[in-house]
């Protein structure tokens, strides 16, 4: 995943130059086949279409002409909805087949201006060939004859498209992303106070707390497709596969697309899960900032859990042998994950002994630096 910074914003890889070239070549052949020997006049809409226009002409297998108009309707990353500047055509287009080369069509305001521009030009035929279309926000009923690539409503740069004048020279297309998110893997042995601390941390840093246990219970209780799938494995006495767990976590993340970040609690538990989480976040231009582990001596934890068992009545907190078996399982799994995140420079051990406030303060200091 390649991340670039233009001015104050970050952008991630979206469409490669190879994909762009393939789409443009396909457009050129479609147009050629439709025109049946005519010599078209291509009209590129500046500034964004200059690279697209050049490559389409390079792929066009017959004689053609090109001219340009300029229609400016963007400031920053938002369309103003009004056309501020217009430079007309050079030469007579009457009786010609004119093909407008648009870099991107979103709301259709620029396209409307183009149609208005050509109303009195007496062209034989006016066609639109856009490299990118945002179908989710296209508001007009005007025909678009050729579409290279349909994309979601995300701001993009590169290959002629800019963010406040930067990025036009990039050979690939990049999509706006955010790098301000804090994504934390919170770990701690049973009794370390992980759940209590997660409640404080999500309030302090305005994060979404995703507990694997809670997610499982929600999906199973509400009989979601993933919940029913997980239940089928459990009913058969089998472990729920990583893919099902990961899909549940993905669904939780997708529910909170505007979040400032996430606290992953109880996940990942294996290296393969950690790798899958990294891959999923990388697709979104994000990453795990750190694995923060509460470190508490086992004897203190045994005492805590036995006391908790007296209050809660939980049988697994009343049997010391079962408690120590849980620690062995935790140590085995955490040791591997500790190595995984340490290799990335992302493991942070925090002293989990003391008052709740003291431990929160220690965690706070670590997470602020991530």
308 catalytically annotated? yes
Helix 225-235 × helix 242-255 angle, to 10°: 160
Distances 294 to 115, 180, 239, 341, 358 between C-alpha atoms, Å: 64, 24, 27, 15, 12
CA–CA dist 293, 290 (Å, integer): 9
267 token code pair: 């996940």
What is the spatial distance between Cα 234 and Cα 299, in angstroms, rounded to a whole number? 33
Catalytic-role residue among 12, 182, 194, 202: 194
Residue whose structure tokens are 């697994």 = 316
* Strand segments (E) across the chain: 3-6, 9-15, 41-46, 65-72, 74-75, 78-79, 85-87, 97-105, 125-133, 146-150, 156-157, 173-177, 182-187, 208-211, 261-265, 290-295, 347-351
**Helix, strand, or coil here: 212?**
helix
Q: Which of 26, 121, 284, 326 is catalytic?
A: 326
Clarify whether 314 is annotated catalytic: yes
Catalytic residue from among 140, 228, 314, 322:
314
Q: One of 304, 308, 333, 338 is an active-site residue; which one?
A: 308
Closest C-alpha among 211, 203, 213, 212 to residue 260: 203
For the chain, the C-alpha Rg in angstroms (whole number) is 28
Nearest to 67 by CA among 87, 95, 38: 87
Q: Annotated catalytic, 96? A: no
For the annotated catalytic residues, the residue numbers are 194, 269, 308, 314, 326
């Amino acid at each position: 995943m390649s991340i670039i910074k233009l001015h104050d914003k970050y952008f991630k890889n979206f469409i490669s130059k190879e994909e762009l070239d393939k789409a443009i070549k396909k457009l050129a052949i479609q147009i050629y086949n439709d025109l049946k020997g005519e010599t078209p006049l291509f009209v590129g809409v500046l500034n964004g279409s200059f690279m697209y226009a050049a490559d389409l002409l390079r792929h066009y297998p017959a004689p053609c002409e090109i001219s340009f108009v300029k229609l400016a309707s963007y400031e920053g990353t938002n369309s103003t909805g009004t056309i501020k500047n217009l430079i007309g055509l050079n030469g007579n287009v009457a009786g010609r087949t004119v093909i407008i080369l648009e870099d991107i069509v979103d709301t259709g305001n620029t396209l409307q201006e183009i149609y208005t521009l050509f109303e009195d030009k007496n062209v034989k035929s006016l066609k639109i060939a856009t490299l990118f279309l945002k179908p989710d926000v296209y508001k007009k009923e005007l025909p678009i004859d050729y579409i290279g690539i349909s994309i979601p409503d995300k701001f993009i740069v590169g290959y002629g498209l800019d963010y406040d004048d930067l990025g036009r020279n990039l050979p690939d297309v990049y999509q706006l992303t955010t790098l301000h998110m804090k994504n934390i893997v919170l770990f701690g042995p049973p009794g370390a106070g992980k759940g209590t601390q997660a409640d404080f941390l999500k309030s302090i840093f305005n994060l979404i707390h995703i507990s694997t246990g809670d997610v499982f219970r929600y999906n199973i209780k509400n009989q979601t497709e993933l919940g029913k799938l997980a239940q089928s494995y459990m009913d058969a006495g089998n472990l729920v596969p990583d893919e099902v767990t990961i899909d549940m976590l993905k669904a939780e993340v997708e529910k909170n697309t505007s979040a400032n970040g996430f606290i992953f609690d109880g996940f990942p538990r294996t290296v393969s899960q950690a790798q899958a989480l990294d891959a999923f976040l990388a697709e979104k231009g994000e990453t795990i900032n750190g694995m923060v582990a509460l470190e508490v001596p086992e004897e203190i934890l045994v005492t805590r859990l036995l006391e908790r068992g007296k209050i809660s009545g939980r049988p697994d907190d009343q049997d010391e042998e079962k408690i120590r078996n849980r620690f062995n399982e935790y140590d085995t799994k955490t040791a591997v994950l500790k190595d995984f995140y340490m290799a990335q420079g992302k493991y942070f051990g925090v002293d989990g002994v003391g008052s709740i406030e003291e431990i929160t303060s220690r965690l706070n200091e670590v997470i602020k630096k991530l």
